Amino acid sequence: MSKNITGAEYALSKIFSSDFDYEIPPYQRPYAWTTEQAGELFDDLFDFYRHEEDESYFLGSIVLVKEENKPHSQVIDGQQRLTTLTILIAALTSLIEDDEARSECFSYIQEPGKKFQGIPSKPRLALRQRDREFFVNTVQALKFESLTELDEATLANESQVNIRSNALLLQNKLSKSFNSEDSLIDFGVFLMTRCFLVAVTSPSQQSAFRVFSVLNNRGLDLLPSDLIKADAIGKIAEQKRDQFNDKWEEIEVETGREGLNDLLTYIRMIYARSKSKRALLEEFREHVLSQTPDPEVLINEVITPFADAYLIARDCIYQSSNNAGDINQTLYWLNRIDNSDWLPVAISYIAKYGSDSDAVIDFIAKLERLAAKLHVCAANINQRIERYAEVIQEIQHLNNSAIDSVELRKSEIEDFINAINGNVYLLTARRRNYLILRTDSFLTDGAARYNHSVLTIEHVLPQTVEEGSEWEANWPDVEERKAWTHRLANLVPLTQRRNSQASNFEFERKKNAYFGGKSGVSSYVLTTQVLKEPVWTPDVLQRRQQELVELCKKHWDLNVNY
């Protein structure tokens, strides 16, 4: 690599200083962090701030195209972190009333300018062109009240929705976490002086991309699982070493190399029942090896049975003369959730009670309900880990296959029903798709599988109603239209890409030309139901909404009275 490539660790006070002038180039993807990632970042920072008084917090690395001694920095890698940190600093600034402290904090967002150095006043971070003005006029201008009043449905794209949501989330978290201005400022001091990023810079875009590629594509470098294996096998008596090495490698073949690393991560969770804060090797030694120091016991009684359970849960291959089909179908739906935090729970239970198919079907159904609730209601990783840890604790320490903590609490049921009955389309795409496809599966008694390469969620009543159209005649009340547009009853899954022109067709034409396709039928029951409706009026949606919500309550057993 070029000798001009440099890397150095900087405190955030330096990262957000006159030494750097960040620009997100137009070819970069949009800002994609949701409230889950932004909330996790804050929770981790706040947890570290409270418990580590003298240590420094490492935020990772950024890769920049930057000439030496010139501030202009084109961001090759690190856009999500730089943008979210800017939002966090802006939220912090917005809550500070002391003029001097507020002005200093604002200077990390906006370069105040230095006339005698030829440095103009400008924001320190310039987003992609399509989001730049929005970011400047809201977050970087500290216009949080304006963000609150904005209807996210009116925003230009998902990036702006994420900016708005994360700004309001972080401001709210700061307000709730600190009860005085002094404590806010103290957190700001921690943020700017004890939080560090490594900035890797190169004047050449080609070499910067090469650095980015190396950082993100490390081939077959040693994984923590390799080091744990070496540690364990090395402690086994020489005459038995080949036998246990073969057993380990057999597990690795079945799980895959990355899968084995994932499995050891899940085992760490089963033992620690908390979010990982350090490297896997270090935490595996602390939580697992400290309780199972004998490597033969570790391989025979921990890794092997957990690997078997992991493969069952991951690959949906439970075998039994009873309930196997239902169990595997439910595991299929668990695997469609966009996080794997439920897997340690399933592994723990199947490893202990897997031979009892009646117990497994009951537990896995309740686990899918819990995972679906956490997913649809946007629980962040810390909330998920905490909730699942309760279930693992009960599985590991009680000899009873009926696990109470996997049941939904009354407040969780109410939140789940409210989400199902709310503006479903405004959920993130993965949450929205899961809920809609799961609802569709309930109409087929859960037997359907969905592997279409294209999935589009379309509104029946269009988002924009044209003046003088049949839609306006059937839906004259604008507020009523607004109340129903994004709800479950008005949404259908399609196996074709969105057709913006067809979206505003009159109902009959839309059914025939768009929803039914050339064959006049749909792969989805929800869509087929719409094809059978002669009209699409408020009464139809009200009936349909009630039926679909009741369907979800029935299949997920959302009984608020238990």
- State how far the Cα of 48 lies from the Cα of 496, in Å rounded to an integer: 46
First to last CA, the chain: 64
- State how far the Cα of 467 lies from the Cα of 483, in Å rounded to an integer: 19
By CB atoms closer than 10 A (0-12, 13-18, 19+), residue 245 is middle
pLDDT tens, residue by residue, 105-160: 999 999 988 777 777 889 999 998 889 999 999 999 999 999 999 988 889 888 89
Closest residue by Cα to residue 49 from 172, 173, 179, 187? 187
- State how far the Cα of 212 lies from the Cα of 224, in Å rounded to an integer: 22
- State how far the Cα of 557 lies from the Cα of 413, in Å rounded to an integer: 9
By CB atoms closer than 10 A (0-12, 13-18, 19+), residue 532 is exposed
Q: Would you say residue 447 has pLDDT above 70?
A: no
Report the half-sphere exposure of 360 (CA within 13 A, side-chain side): 31
- State how far the Cα of 457 lies from the Cα of 433, in Å rounded to an integer: 8
Residue 503 CA, distance from chain mean position = 29
- Torsional class of 291: left (φ above 0), alpha (ψ -120 to 50), beta (otherwise): alpha
- Segments in 4-98 forming alpha helices (H): 12-15, 35-51, 79-95
pLDDT number for residue 231: 78
Q: Would you say residue 219 has pLDDT above 50?
A: no
Return phi, psi of residue 132, to 5°. -60, -50
Residue reference for tokens 């930057």: 66
CB 90 within 8 A of CB 103: no
Q: Would you say residue 454 has pLDDT above 80?
A: no
Closest residue by Cα to residue 458 from 428, 435, 425? 425
**What is the CA angle 357-361-363, rounded to 5?**
115
Q: Would you say residue 59 has pLDDT above 80?
A: yes
CB atoms within 10 A of CB 544: 20
CB 459 within 8 A of CB 433: no
Question: Mapping DSSP to helix (H, G, I), strand (E, B) and coil, where does residue 60 land?
Answer: strand
Q: Would you say residue 10 has pLDDT above 80?
A: yes
The residue type at 70? K
Tokens of 99: 């003029």
pLDDT number for residue 158: 87
Residue reference for tokens 């607004």: 482
pLDDT tens, residue by residue, 158-192: 889 999 999 999 999 999 999 999 999 999 999 99
pLDDT tens, residue by residue, 503-549: 678 888 877 766 665 555 567 888 888 888 899 999 999 999 999 99
Q: State the chain's mean pLDDT as an integer.
A: 89
CA-based R_g, the chain, Å: 27
Q: How confident is the model at residue 263 (pLDDT cuts 50, 70, 90)?
A: very high
Contacts of 10 (CB under 8 A, 6+ apart): 196, 197, 198, 199
Q: How confident is the model at residue 220 (pLDDT cuts 50, 70, 90)?
A: very low
Residue reference for tokens 């971070």: 125
Q: How confident is the model at residue 366 (pLDDT cuts 50, 70, 90)?
A: very high
CB 83 within 8 A of CB 90: no
Contacts of 523 (CB under 8 A, 6+ apart): 452, 495
